[in-house]
Every structure is written in C-alpha cells, then in structure tokens.
C-alpha cells in the first residue's frame, strides 16, 4: 500500500535525527515543539514503524529510523538540487551586483544602460563596498556578481570577464613638476582596499624615495567619486581616477601615470557554487561582447 510522504515531514525528521532531540530540533527550525512531535507521529503512522524510542532521558533513533534517515537525506538533497537547477533555468528578473565606488562611476553606467535596453523587466541593484566585502558577498551568494581587482582570488569564485582601466593622476591646478605633485594631499576613498587608493599610495611611496621625501603622505578620505572630484576641484589635493571619468570633467588637469602603474586590471566575479541565472548570463554576455565592439 502506497504512502503519501511529504518532503516537509522528511525535512523535520532529518533535523530531529541529527539533533537526537525534539526540543533542539524545534528550536533550530523555529517551530513549536508540539508541532514537531505531531509531525513525527504522523510520519510513524504513515510508515507503520516506530522511528524513535522515547525515554525520560530523551529519544534514540531506531533501526527503522536509521534506514529512513538514509533515504531522507537522498530525497531532500535531490529535491533541493532539482529546485536549484530549475530556478537557474527560469527567468529571475532580479540582478544584484557589487562594485567599488570608482568602478560604479566609471564603466558600469554604460553597461547598465545597454543591459536595460534588452532587459527592461529586470530589477538591478548595485552595492558599493570595499573589495574584500564584495568578494565575501559573492562567496556567500548575497550578490550575483561583483567587480573587483584581478589580484583577488578565492576557491569559491570565478572570473568571467576582465578589462583594463587606464589611470591618471588628477589635480585642479596646473602643476608642472613631479615634485609639486608630491607636495599635495592624497584624496582617496575611505575603503583601505580600494585599488585606486592603493595605486596612488604606491606611486607616492616610490616617487617620494627618488625625491628624498621622508614624511608620509597627507591623506584626505572621502566616501564617493563625486566627493573626490569635488575635493580635487577645490584644490585640496590630488587623486587617481580612471581616465574616462577624468575626461568628463574639463576643469580637472590630468597627469598621466608612469607606464608601470598606468592600468588597473578589473575582473567581474561570480560564485562557483551556482549555475548563473538567465539574467546574470545575459549580463555576462553583454560584458564580453562590449569588448569586441
């Protein structure tokens, strides 16, 4: 005679078997203890088997319970796998991306504009964070993908697109010499792991040695690219930005980086754990095709 086992009952049974305690299982799942007890009793009635032995000391799984536990693991895991695969193949209509503030202000707007033209129903959200936090959020699958420096690697993420960003030093003043640049404050992003901040600090330390400058740089930290540009425009110091951003501000006088530090390599990373959704795959294809245009 066939029985109508519910996957939710098997999930509850599996947690009870793992915890060897109904009260602990109820707490872990956020259920009322009496509800868990009723679900186990329902399962036992359907199977005609006692799954746990009760005593004053608690519960102990029976031989029949051990057999069901093995099958429950397989059934629940297969259901989860099937659900994940089918969801990955269906339209998601949401795309959660991450980028550093500078990348978000540089290349990302033009890509999003092109993406929206072909995917008008997709809701895109952008989180601007530091690179380590961005990488961690991709690993934890809180973000579908993120733009970070190509120097960052992790076993649970993969790079699906990379590009070079031309860099320039910018100043509001017509500074004529390198030594004059070194006398200015450095206007940087507040994130310590910002790649553009790191490149600027490396440039300063290298050049200050050749000019016999002993003191550390004076630094002003700000939150956004707009704030960096405003600070530079007001003559508070110099900064380092992608060249495409600088060209949109005619009042900035740009100084080209030495060739060794002229470009930043940026990658778009996704999680290795999941198959990309339709919306994410469409965005990745757009990135790849944009470099061939």
CATH number belonging to domain 7-88: 1.10.10.10
Q: Left if phi > 0, otherwise alpha if psi is -120 to 50, otherwise beta: which for 58?
A: left
DSSP-derived secondary structure letter, 192? T
- pLDDT digit of tens for each residue in the chain (293 aa)? 455 678 888 999 999 999 999 988 888 877 888 889 999 999 999 999 999 998 888 899 999 999 999 999 999 889 888 877 776 665 558 899 999 888 888 889 999 999 998 888 899 999 998 889 999 999 999 999 999 998 888 899 999 999 998 888 888 777 778 888 899 999 999 888 888 898 899 889 989 998 888 888 999 999 888 899 889 888 899 999 888 888 777 666 667 666 565 688 999 999 998 889 889 999 999 999 987 65
Q: How far is it, in rounded angstroms, from Cα 95 to Cα 269?
A: 14
pLDDT of residue 166: 86
pLDDT of residue 1: 44
**Which token pair is 33?**
């203890």
Q: Collect all residues with Cβ–Cβ distance below 8 Å to 165 and sequence separation of at least 6.
A: 103, 106, 107, 242, 243, 263, 264, 265, 266
CATH 1.10.10.10 range(s) for the chain read 7-88
At the topology level of CATH, where does 166-264 sit?
D-Maltodextrin-Binding Protein; domain 2 (3.40.190)
Q: CA torsion angle for 244, 247, 249, 255 (degrees, to 10)?
A: 100
CATH 3.40.190.10 range(s) for the chain read 94-163+265-290, 166-264
Instruction: Tell me which of 3.40.1260.10, 3.40.50.1370, 3.40.190.10, 3.40.640.10 is the CATH number of domain 94-163+265-290.
Output: 3.40.190.10
pLDDT of residue 27: 85
């Amino acid at each position: 005679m066939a029985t109508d086992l519910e996957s939710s009952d098997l999930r509850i049974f599996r947690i009870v078997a793992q915890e060897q305690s109904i009260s602990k299982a109820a707490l872990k799942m956020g259920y009322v203890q009496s509800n868990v007890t009723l679900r186990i009793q329902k399962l036992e009635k359907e199977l005609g088997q006692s799954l746990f032995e009760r005593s004053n000391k608690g519960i102990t799984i029976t031989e029949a319970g051990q057999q069901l536990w093995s099958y429950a693991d397989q059934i629940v895991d297969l259901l989860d796998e099937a659900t994940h695969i089918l969801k990955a193949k269906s339209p998601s209509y949401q795309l959660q991306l991450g980028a550093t503030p500078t990348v978000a202000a540089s290349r990302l707007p033009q890509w999003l504009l092109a993406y929206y033209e072909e995917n008008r129903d997709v809701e895109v959200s952008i989180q601007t964070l530091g690179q380590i936090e961005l990488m961690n959020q991709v690993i934890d699958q809180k973000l579908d993908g993120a733009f970070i420096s190509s120097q960052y690697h992790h076993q649970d993420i993969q790079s699906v697109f990379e590009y070079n960003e031309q860099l320039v030093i910018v100043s509001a003043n017509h500074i004529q010499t390198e030594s004059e640049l070194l006398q200015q404050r450095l206007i940087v992003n507040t994130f310590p792991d910002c790649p553009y901040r790191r490149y600027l600090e490396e440039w300063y330390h290298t050049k200050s040695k050749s000019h016999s400058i002993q003191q550390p740089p004076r630094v002003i930290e700000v939150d956004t690219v707009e704030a960096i540009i405003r600070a530079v425009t007001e003559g508070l110091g110099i900064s380092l930005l992608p060249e495409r951003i600088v060209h949109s501000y005619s009042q900035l006088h740009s100084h080209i980086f030495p060739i060794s530090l002229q470009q930043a390599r940026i990658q778009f990373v996704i999680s290795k754990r999941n198959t990309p959704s339709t919306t994410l795959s469409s965005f990745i294809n757009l990135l790849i095709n944009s470099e061939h245009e």
